[in-house]
Structure 1
Amino acid sequence: MSDESIEVVVVRVFTDERGVNGNELGIVRSSAVTAQREQPIATALGFSETVFVDELDEERFEAAIRIFTPARELPFAGHPSVGTAWWLAESRTPVGVLREKAGDVLVEVDEEQEVAWVRARAEWAPDFEWLPLQSPEDVEALDALAFTTGHHYAYAWIDEEEGRLRSRMFAPDMGIIEDEATGAAAVALTARLGRSLRIEQGVGSELMTELLEDGWVRVGGRTVYDRTIDATL
């Protein structure tokens, strides 16, 4: 890589009501500088996911995005979709659709509440090994370094009647030791359990899902701006 720099906007997705915690997301406007270099850029940045906004059609309210973990490109991911939707609205370039490799992701943003929702399908998510446990304490006791391959999602009910879960996700194959908040897993688990959920993941991130018809699920949460960095390539 040469000594060129790019601007990276960092937001935190799925924060709690106070705007605390959440999963960091790097957002980059694609350019000649980033073209064909997305994976090494995402690897160097080190966020669980980095989004590259390839095209923005303000007349049609659409944006095309690509999503990369430190190890690979993903056809769909929840926290990048929610975070990018919120950031575009915050930047006064709102969209109703994010065009991703998995398909068109419909977007809704409530700017007053700082909540963004996206609509997705469970089959767009990676294949997770589901680890249902007996209690939130069992989830919290897991050792992230014990997971050396694959994609693992551990969860336990906080309140089954209310649909509240405690969860953690480990994805060494994606270059992610532990993910702070995982929207795609929330979508897949909602479809798996057949009900809407409120999920507390990681250190203290909060995700909301809504089970829709015909295999669709909405996943949403709060996003806040964190910082902007100049990354040297």
Structure 2
Amino acid sequence: MTDYDVLRVFCAPGGGYGNELGVVRDGSRVPERAERQELAAKLGFSETVFVDDPERGVIDIYTPTTRLPFAGHPCVGTAWLLDVPELVTPAGLVGARLDGEFSWVEARAEWAPPRTLRRYGSAAEVDDLPIPPPGEWIYAWAWLDEAAGRVRARAFPGRGDGIDEDEATGAAAILLTDQLGRALNITQGAGSQILTAPQPYGWVEVGGRVFLER
């Protein structure tokens, strides 16, 4: 089996929760796309990253079923792991920085895969949602405290690949931030925390805590 690290990205203040991420630091060991897709499916994380150049931050991102030009929690986690100022993705150049306990990346909303952002009237409604059948990718959200920018969210990929609900999704948080035009503090899944901030010229920062699981 190819060596890989497991991170938890967008963890809660105490270090719990977060979305697991697999990172193959030596992408040259799995050079072909078909091999990478097969390994990503075998590992079963919502995303797996293959690092093609650790010094330049060149990465390749896969779900269990498809390759992604950009994804939020893989970029936040891999930037933290490699300690680089930027990542090179097929979508474009992703700026990265560390700020105390938080790892941040900067990206554009149009880089995110399509998501259906579905607003609900209360956090309780979001909490009570059942897992929907496979179909569209749904980001369900409601205000916890609109004045403070606090959001409750859950994410349902709808891909039918065994990932019925994503614990924390940076790309969807970027889309919501772009739509609302304001900084957000998102509680997603069982208790993960995602922070966002709109930037000039259509850029959005997304950040959170990252821990090395193994």
User: What range is the shorter-chain TM-score in?
Assistant: over 0.9
Is 1:133 matched up with 2:120? yes
For the 8 Å contact 2:138–2:158, the answer to whether it is kept is: no
Decide whether aligned partners of structure 1 residues 31 and 120 sit closer, same or farther in structure 2, where only a CA change above 3 A counts.
Answer: closer
Q: Which has the higher contact order (CA 8 A, sep 6+)?
A: 1
Matched to 1:202, the amino acid is G
Matched to 1:159, the amino acid is D
Is 1:187 matched up with 2:174? yes
Percent of aligned pairs with the same amino acid: 48
Instruction: Select the structure that is richer in strand.
Output: 1
Which 4+ residue blocks in structure 1 deviate beyond 6 angstroms? none
Decide whether aligned partners of structure 1 residues 199 and 106 sit closer, same or farther in structure 2, where only a CA change above 3 A counts.
Answer: same
What is the CA-CA distance between 1:206 and the residue it aligns to? 0.1
What is the CA-CA distance between 1:188 and the residue it aligns to? 0.7
Query: 2: CA distance between counterparts of 1:173 and 1:121?
Result: 23
Query: 2: CA distance between counterparts of 1:161 and 1:31?
Result: 44
Output the TM-score relative to the length of structure 1: 0.88
Partner of residue 196, structure 2: 209
Query: 2: CA distance between counterparts of 1:41 and 1:223?
Result: 23
Query: 1: CA distance between counterparts of 2:183 and 2:102?
Result: 17
For the 8 Å contact 2:27–2:50, the answer to whether it is kept is: no
Is 1:163 matched up with 2:163? no
Is 1:15 matched up with 2:11? yes
Decide whether aligned partners of structure 1 residues 148 and 16 sit closer, same or farther in structure 2, where only a CA change above 3 A counts.
Answer: same
What is the CA-CA distance between 1:32 and the residue it aligns to? 4.4
Residue aligned with 2:3, SS: strand
Matches within 5 A, 1:22-37: 22-36=18-32, 37=35
What is the CA-CA distance between 1:31 and the residue it aligns to? 4.3
Is 1:200 matched up with 2:187? yes
For the 8 Å contact 2:22–2:47, the answer to whether it is kept is: yes
Query: 2: CA distance between counterparts of 1:31 and 1:85?
Result: 15
Is 1:97 matched up with 2:86? yes
For the 8 Å contact 1:86–1:114, the answer to whether it is kept is: no
Query: 2: CA distance between counterparts of 1:185 and 1:98?
Result: 19
Query: 2: CA distance between counterparts of 1:223 and 1:32?
Result: 25
Partner of residue 63, structure 2: 69
Deviations 1:134-173 (A, max 9, x none): 00010011111x2311210000000000000000011122
Query: 2: CA distance between counterparts of 1:198 and 1:15?
Result: 13
Residue aligned with 1:172, SS: coil
Runs of at least 5 residues in structure 2 that lack an aligned partner in the other structure: none
Decide whether aligned partners of structure 1 residues 98 and 109 sit closer, same or farther in structure 2, where only a CA change above 3 A counts.
Answer: same
Output the TM-score relative to the length of structure 2: 0.95
Is 1:122 matched up with 2:120? no
Partner of residue 152, structure 1: 138
Partner of residue 96, structure 2: 107
Partner of residue 86, structure 1: 80
Residue aligned with 1:192, SS: helix
Decide whether aligned partners of structure 1 residues 32 and 127 sit closer, same or farther in structure 2, where only a CA change above 3 A counts.
Answer: closer
Query: 1: CA distance between counterparts of 2:46 and 2:160?
Result: 8
Query: 1: CA distance between counterparts of 2:41 and 2:31?
Result: 15
Decide whether aligned partners of structure 1 residues 194 and 32 sit closer, same or farther in structure 2, where only a CA change above 3 A counts.
Answer: closer
Matched to 1:185, the amino acid is A
Partner of residue 43, structure 1: 41
* Alpha-carbon RMSD: 1.2
Deviations 1:55-110 (A, max 9, x none): 123xxxx210011001101110000000001111xxxxx21110001000000013
Query: 1: CA distance between counterparts of 2:133 and 2:107?
Result: 27
Query: 1: CA distance between counterparts of 2:147 and 2:135?
Result: 33
